[in-house]
Amino acid sequence: MSKPTYVQDYQAISEVLNKYIEGCKQAKSSIMKSAFSPQATMYTVGPDGKLTGGAIPILFEGVDKDFRPSPDATAAITRIEIVGTAASARIDANDMSGISFTDFFHLLKVGGQWTVVSKIFHTHVAP
């Protein structure tokens, strides 16, 4: 029988996702980079209705270039689901550099560490 690890895994995933949130709030990709696998990808549907995105450096470049510090922004990890070494999670963020969005992450536990391998997102229309 294997030892249950759900609580520890949940906490570890939360820590990984909080690096992403903090990097967005501070507009510094250096804070979030360790949360992502170097092979990670990021995609969304652009205003033209077409798939846009690619390798994760696109996220880092966008955060460093286009984001501004948003210390009062709010974000919540609204869901984490874990099955063995695979997990999915959702983050909802409001007024992060003037943008509100919903992120969906897929994570894998590689070498005992949780890492984001893919991110898709939806940007909400500003009120």
Q: Which of 5-9, 11-15, 34-38 has the least mean pLDDT?
A: 5-9
The tens digit of pLDDT for each residue in 68-127 reads: 999 999 999 999 999 999 999 999 999 999 999 999 999 999 999 999 999 999 999 765
Contact of 116 with 40, CB cutoff 8 Å = yes
* Tally of helices (H runs) and strands (E runs) in the chain: 3, 6
The tens digit of pLDDT for each residue in 60-69 reads: 999 999 999 9
Residue 58 scores a pLDDT above 80? yes
Tell me which residue of 65, 72, 56 sits closest to 28, measured CA to CA.
65
Q: What is the pTM of this model?
A: 0.93
Mean pLDDT of 29-48: 97
Confidence of residue 35 (pLDDT cuts 50, 70, 90): very high
Give the per-residue pLDDT at 83. 95
Task: Provide Rg for the chain, Cα atoms.
Answer: 15
Mean pLDDT of 53-62: 98
Pair of tokens at residue 119 = 């991110």
- Cα 31 to Cα 108: distance, rounded to the nearest angstrom: 20
- Cα 69 to Cα 15: distance, rounded to the nearest angstrom: 20
